[in-house]
A and B are shown apart, each in its own frame.
Chain A
Amino acid sequence: MTVFWEIMVRAFQRQITYRAAALAGLATNLFFGFIKAAMVEAYYQNTQILSGMDVKAAVTYTVVTQALLGFLSIFGTFDLMRTIYRGEVATDLLKPISFLGLWMARDFGQSVAQLLLRGSVILLVYGLFMDMGFPESPMQWIYTVVSLLLGWTVWFVVRFLVNLGAFWSPDARGIARLCYAFTLLLSGLLMPIRLYPEWVQKFAAWTPFPYVLNTPMEIYSGVLSSQEMLHALVLQGIWLVALLILTQGVWQQASKRLMVLGG
């Protein structure tokens, strides 16, 4: 656990050194948030409620999503892939921590830095300038935090799996880009999934994507009853376990390939 902690702290420190990049990213996220909020409001011009979501909930959903982009590393990193191509992965395997744990620690450190540096500022700005809602009960706050952590882990595992593609394909970036493209629509990143036709919602539920962002955001914006919230958390948990089992299998195959290639 101490190793995990140390790796995490180092990743955190590395993030806060690039201030100019952080500022540019912050400004971009803020700007696109305003655009998306304007679109959501336009969608509601002739209607009060869409699939049980009113305009305030939809705007809240959209702008809080912007604040979480950095935390969830939605646009992901290719770091793991790079270490595989360069063979640095061999050094990583010598470290006294499991490979998955190592990358989880690195990623989480980075995510926490993003949340503090970027997410908090974005929330503050939107809180000041927009009609944004907050969870109403302490219980809803707790559900939101738990769901967000589950969502983070689900997304981390999905990205881990995609990056492991580098063991098989000389250029796994294509696979990664395809995965991100799906994320755009099916995670609720562009617009709340509820606003889409029912068949899209049903289709999305069978992929891991909505459990990354849509679930925590639906809990936060208050469109779920307390029973539905619990149900949502359980679903997230099931997906996480399933993905972890899959990762274990894929990693075993991948490490075998590493022996063959690298000796």
Chain B
Amino acid sequence: MHTFTVYVRLIHALVRSQLQYRVSFLMDLIATTFYTVLEFASLVLILGRIKTLGSWTIPEITLLYGLAELSFGIMDMAFAGFDPSIFGAFIRQGSLDQLMLRPVSLTVQVMGSDFGLRRLGKCLLGLVILLYGIWYAGIIWTPEKALLLLLVLIGMVLFFAGLFMIGSTITFWTVDSAEAMNILTYGGRAMIEYPMSIYQNWLRKIFTFVVPVIFLNYYPVLHLLDKPDPFGFPAWSHWLSPVVGCGIFLLAILFWRFGLKHYQSTGT
């Protein structure tokens, strides 16, 4: 309970400081949200002309897209301190050494070291996109599907948080930020925003067997929509989503602990 209070306090301070410069904050909020709006608009504008992408209609793709955007947005807000590009600078400046001296959980302090309120716009937008998809994709609801939707969201938040933590831990050794992780984080998100059936075989295999993002979003949405699986995985594959998410997150925590134990300051 104490750690949670610390986290809330840290975030509260960050939010207050960001609200000091209102105009600047608003501009940032609009710009960040606008980015997502235009990216999504690009898809909708083209789909509006050609109607379907393979066997997928616009609301169906919206469902995929909204789930990925919302979960990534939530993660990006709560775990911003673990964003490898931010955490890398943290290490270079030796700020981590300061945190280590404090008698509070280091993980919580890192989590609370950054919090971009402007990302709230992206979360809300993700939610709107998702709700549109849920409303128009014609899902036949069952209690089981509702539970799945919730678990999928949690699973994806944890999955991306895990990738952030792994990327940050790598910076213990490389000092320079682990930019190649962007392929997994931002690339992974971009991948799962579209039906996996559009990708070439080799690309899809990597994202099935190496980094199993295919289970995160694609299989759950196939199940929600009662669409047939073109790749012949077992019928329960959609339940792998929270499993994969939690699994990566646990691995990430272990790796992070290992990294902390072996951390040597840059001496700055």
A interface residues (Cβ-Cβ under 8 A, vs B): 20-21, 23-25, 27-28, 31-32, 34-35, 38-39, 41-43, 45-47, 50, 169-171, 173-175, 177-178, 180-182, 184-185, 190-191, 195-197, 200
Contacts and interface: CB of A to CB of B under 8 A. Distances in A.
Interface in B155-204: 176, 179-180, 182-183, 186-187, 190-191, 194-195, 198-200, 203
A120 to B, nearest CB: 20
B223 to A, nearest CB: 22
Contacts of A171: 21, 24, 27-28
Interface string B43-65: 00110111111100000000000
A185 B183 contact: no
Contact of B42 (A25, A27, A190): A190
Given A28-B179, A42-B198, A177-B32, A170 B38 contact: no
Nearest to B176: A20
A46 B52 contact: yes
Contacts of A38: 194, 198-200, 203
B50 A28 contact: no
B100 interface: no
A177 B182 contact: no
A32 B31 contact: no
Given A31-B187, A184-B39, A45 B54 contact: yes
Contact of A34 (B24, B34, B49, B203): B203
Contacts of B50: 43, 46-47, 50
A181 B200 contact: no
Contacts of B30: 174, 178
A249 to B, nearest CB: 24
Which 8 A-B pairs give the minimum distances between C-beta atoms? A174-B27, A177-B31, A24-B179, A42-B198, A171-B24, A181-B34, A185-B38, A190-B42
A175 B187 CA distance: 26
Band of interface residues on B:
35 or more
Contacts of B186: 28
A92 to B, nearest CB: 25
B190 A35 contact: yes
Interface in B51-81: 51-54
B258 interface: no
B176 A181 contact: no
Contacts of B26: 174
B179 A184 contact: no
A185 B31 contact: no
A116 B186 CA distance: 26
A39 B198 contact: yes
B46 A27 contact: no
Nearest to B203: A34
B49 to A, nearest CB: 6
A180 B30 CA distance: 12
Given A35-B203, A171-B21, A177-B27, 20 more contacts: A20-B179, A24-B182, A27-B180, A28-B182, A32-B187, A34-B203, A38-B194, A43-B46, A46-B50, A46-B52, A50-B49, A170-B24, A174-B24, A174-B28, A184-B39, A185-B39, A190-B39, A195-B46, A196-B45, A197-B45
A181 B46 CA distance: 18
A204 B31 CA distance: 19
Given A185-B38, A190-B42, A195 B176 contact: no
Nearest to A18: B176
B135 interface: no
A29 to B, nearest CB: 10
Contact of B49 (A169, A175, A181, A195): A195
Contacts of B195: 42
Nearest to B191: A35
Given A45-B54, A171-B21, A197 B48 contact: yes
A184 B42 contact: yes
20 contacts: A25-B179, A28-B179, A34-B200, A38-B198, A38-B200, A38-B203, A39-B194, A43-B46, A45-B54, A46-B50, A46-B51, A169-B24, A170-B24, A174-B30, A175-B27, A177-B35, A178-B31, A181-B38, A184-B38, A195-B49
A195 B53 CA distance: 14
